[in-house]
Each structure stands twice: as C-alpha cells, then as structure tokens.
Amino acid sequence: MILPPPECWLQRITMTMIIATTMAADTDTYSYSKAYPDSYAYTDTDSNIDTDTCSSPIAPSTNSLLHSSPLKHRLFQDTTNHSSHCLSSPDHSPFKKHKHQHIASGRLPPRRPLPSTLLGDSFARSLGIRGHKFSSIRNAAATSSLLSYTSRPIDLDFVSGPDHAVSIPFAIAFTTSHPIFAVANELGSVAFLDAACTHGIGLESSIKTIDCHRNAVFDMDFSSDDYYLATASGDQCSRVFDVVTEEMVFQLTGHAGSVKEVAFNNLDSNILATCARDGNIHLYDLRCTPVTNIYQKPTNTIVHAHDIPNSSITSISWLSNSTTCLYSSCSSNSMVKEWDTRMIPSCAGLRRRKTIPVMESGPSNQTREYGTTSLNVSRDSSRIYALSKDSSVHVYSPRNLSNGPIERLCHPNLEISTFFAKSAVSQDGKSVAVGNGTGAPVVFDVDTGVGVALSRGHSEAVTGISFGIGGMIASISDDSTVRVWKPEGEDILDGRKEKEWGWGYGVLKLN
C-alpha cells in the first residue's frame, strides 16, 4: 500500500478542523437564536479576541445600546447614530461586557420595554435559580429593610403653639444635611426639633420656635444650604426666614387664595415657586429688587396652570438637576404637567396668555378622575411620584411623561381621603413615604413596590411626612403629635406590650 505524502495528510486534517469549527459555530448560533429569538446576533470583528476574558456568550459589548430607565430596563434602544449614542452597561446589569464584540448590521433593535424583574430573572436562570425564587429573595431583602423602622417613646412629642396649648400640625420639613426638622401648626408658628435625640433627650426639647404667620402654615421648604426656610400659609402669602437670626427676609405676594406649597430650586436658592388655590403658579427671583422693603412680587406667573375652573394647584416640584423645569398637579384630576420657566411670557401684557406646558401626563386608565395631593421628584431626576386620592402613588418617568404612569404603588391599608396628605422621597431615592388616613404612614421600596405600614405611631390620620439624613422619617398627625422613625431595627422585647410601652414599628399589613 502506497501512502500519500505527509503534506496531503496535513491538508486533510486542517480542512477537517475548519469544517468542524464552522459547524459548531453555526450550531451554537442556531441554538441561541431559538432560546432568545428577540436578541441580537453578535459577530467577532477582531481575529485576536481573547476568549478567556469573555465570561458570557451573550454579553453585549461596550458599544451596545444597553441602558437603564427608572422602572423598566430597555435592553437596546434604536438610535440614528450608533457611534454617538452608545451608552455603557449599568452596574447592576447581570450581563458582562465584551470588549471586542459589535452588533451585527441589518437587525433592528427591539422597541418593546422590558420589566425590571426580567434582567434579574434572566441572571437567576443562568445561575440555576428560578425567576420567582430570585424575586422573592430580592423582595425579602427590601421588606426586611423597611421593617427595621422603629420609633421609641422619646421619639414622640405633642405639637404646641406660642401659648403652649396643643395644636394640630399642618406641615413638616427636614433640613438637607442635619438631623433637624421644622414643624408648623395651625396657628402659624414653626418649631425646630432635633431628631437625633442624643443622651436620652426626647423631642420635647425643641431648639427654637418662630412665629411665622397669623394663619395656618400648609407647607415649608429649606434652601439647599439650610440657611433659609420658606413657608406657605393660608394668609395668601409666602415668607422666607433666616433660620439663624429668625428674621423674615422676604414676603412673597401675588396670590388670591391660600398658598398650598412653596419650593426652593435645588440648584439655585434664589429661585422659588409657589402654587395656590387660585389655580396660579408664581415664580420668584430673590435677586430682584423688592417693590417695597421686603415685599417681593412674582417675576413670572403661570395663570390657570391646569386650565380647569375652580381647580386648586395642590403641589409643585422642581426637576432636581434643572433651574428651569417645574412639575405641577391639581385637585381635579391626576394629570401632571411639565413647565419650562423660560417659555413663560415675562411681559405683563402677555401674562394673560395661556402658557403651554412642555409635556403633560397621559391618562391613568381610571374610570373616574382623582386629584393629586402631593408631588415629588427623586434626586437623580429619574422618577416622579404623585400621591393620588385613589389611595396609590403614581410613578412617572420625566422623559416619557406623556405615556402616563409606568407603575402604581399600593398598600391594602393606605387611605387617602384629604388633600392634606403628603408624600416624600428619601435622599438616596430608594424609598417613598406617604401619609395615611388610618394613622399609619406607609413606606414603599421603589424597586420592588413593597410597602410597609409604620403602626402604633399615631392614633389619627397622618398628614405630613418628611425624610432626613440616614433614612430617618418624621411624621405628623391630626392627633397633635409628631413622631420620628429610625431604621435602626431595635427589637421589641414583648410584642404584647408594645402599645403599653409606646413603641411604633413597621408591619406589612395592619390587623
């Protein structure tokens, strides 16, 4: 038998290896496309790719358009210029980046939004864990964090007026960088309290009290540096006080009804906005020369902001990273409007013209209209939270406000029956706290939607609520009390005596 020359054997072996490699690649591509039909096909454009650095065969590249939205992750987003719109993968994404992979041309990216749990469930499946088990673990962690809120007996105090008589609190606000908060009552006085309660001293040792108005104070807001406090009152005006000297430095005029809210701009404390029962929104610039002494007129006005007769503007909130973007809500429906203050006519003759909002929220798919009692924007400007009288929190995306709510936060014990109920967002943006007609404020985890009721704290409806540093919460109630809740997780020794001891704690559902 005559054997062929050695070079022929080498050629046959080389061809066999090439064919086997090609078939294996086709088989892997086909099996992956069946398992993930909506995904992209990836191709390696660099022949010198290091396969040891690629821990996942389906990982998107740094040039992929993977990004994170407030409540829903879009795996890919279609853009016109891919080279200039590439977004990096978020830190919490289960997919790891491939350095040398690129999206194959000729495939349009899917436009369908994916729920936030899908990425987590996909990652769980890759680890051999079922998706619902993974979600349960995540929800349990969020629930455990919220259940750690407790309130000791020394964290409770009764609100009193100048004559030391008990009065009903109407508004509460934490400072930005200190454990100090202010409580305003129906008589127009504001008391400053220390939530730290160090050395066993309770809230009864207030720091100072300022007589701000001769009517009820409905809302307060601290400037970004905590040096100034703005108040909104039923006497149809707002005032700005120097916290250190306790002196009034400005009085903001112009409304023809009770002022419902006042808000400092987050980036410029010289800019304020107010809203009132007259349906108007006033904008003030404290750098402008006052008309007489300290009386400041509005620099701009949005007349009849929600264009509904006898509709009160219940809440306003600035976009956290903007000096010109403002959101508003009203008492007649659940619509949220976005305003650009640069587009408001500044001439007095043109001010009567209707101001067109930049964007307004779409329908909330409800059989009847419910008013909005409170409006908050997260510090990262990724979400808008609107507390509605349908006893739920509507969550919006500022970029897609016209699409309507993207989520609703609900709790079986949450009852919102009055416009005095307010809401607040934590400084880290992970939690939302709301007042409650049942006497137990509710705290939601915004990622999982889990809500925990803070029970045994108040005996009547909780109206105002505010977040402080370290996740502390202060709440006020119609029972004339103010209470501080801290996420310390202190255990109650005997669950049968918590009412007798005066403790408050978080529960998933009230009995």
Q: What is the pLDDT of residues 462-497, one digit of tens each?
A: 999 999 999 999 999 999 999 999 987 655 544 444
Q: Is 77 a residue whose pLDDT tops 50?
A: no
Residue-level pLDDT at 372: 96
Q: Is 229 a residue whose pLDDT tops 80?
A: yes
Average pLDDT, the chain: 75
Residue-level pLDDT at 353: 67
The DSSP string of 321-366 is T-SSEEEEEESSSS-EEEEEGGGS--STTTTTSPPPPSEE------
The set of residues, in sequence order, having a beta carbon less than 8 Å from that of 99 and lying 6+ positions away, is 49, 53, 61, 62
110 against 330, higher pLDDT: 330
Q: Is 384 a residue whose pLDDT tops 60?
A: yes
pLDDT interval class at 350 (50, 70, 90): very low
Residue-level pLDDT at 416: 96
User: Quick count: other Cβ atoms within 10 Å of Cβ 438?
Assistant: 17
Residue-level pLDDT at 164: 74
Mean pLDDT of 414-423: 95
510 against 94, higher pLDDT: 510
pLDDT interval class at 399 (50, 70, 90): very high
What are 316-328's pLDDT values in tens digits?
999 999 999 999 9
105 against 418, higher pLDDT: 418
Q: Is 424 a residue whose pLDDT tops 50?
A: yes
Are the beta carbons of 47 and 28 closer than 8 angstroms?
A: no
Q: What is the largest CA-CA distance in the chain?
A: 120
pLDDT interval class at 312 (50, 70, 90): very high
Q: Cα 15 to chain center, whole Å?
A: 61
Q: Report CA Rg, the chain.
A: 28
Domain 150-489+500-507 has CATH 3.55.40.20: no
Strand, helix or coil at 84? coil
pLDDT interval class at 505 (50, 70, 90): confident
DSSP E strands, 423-498? 423-425, 431-434, 442-445, 451-455, 462-467, 473-477, 481-485
Mean pLDDT of 2-24: 52
Q: Torsion-angle region of residue 4: left (phi > 0), alpha (psi -120 to 50) or beta?
A: beta
pLDDT interval class at 287 (50, 70, 90): very high
**pTM score over 0.85:** no
Residue-level pLDDT at 134: 37
What are 23-35's pLDDT values in tens digits?
544 444 333 333 3
Q: Counting runs of H as helices and runs of E as strands, what totals does the chain give?
A: 4, 36
Residue 217: which of 163, 265, 180, 260 has the closest Cα? Answer: 260
Complete edge-to-edge strand list for the sheet that includes strand 295-296: 217-222, 228-233, 238-242, 248-252, 295-296
Residue-level pLDDT at 498: 52
Residue type, 65: L
What are 102-150's pLDDT values in tens digits?
333 333 333 333 333 333 344 333 333 333 333 444 456 566 678 889 8
Q: Is 421 a residue whose pLDDT tops 50?
A: yes
141 against 81, higher pLDDT: 141
Q: Torsion-angle region of residue 106: left (phi > 0), alpha (psi -120 to 50) or beta?
A: left
Residue-level pLDDT at 152: 85
Q: Domain extents for the chain?
A: 8-37, 54-111, 150-489+500-507
pLDDT more than 70, % of the chain: 64
Burial of 131 per CB tally in 10 Å (0-12, 13-18, 19+): middle
Q: Is 54 a residue whose pLDDT tops 60?
A: no
What are 292-308's pLDDT values in tens digits?
889 999 999 999 999 89
pLDDT more than 90, % of the chain: 51
Q: Is 419 a residue whose pLDDT tops 80?
A: yes
Are the beta carbons of 472 and 486 closer than 8 angstroms?
A: yes
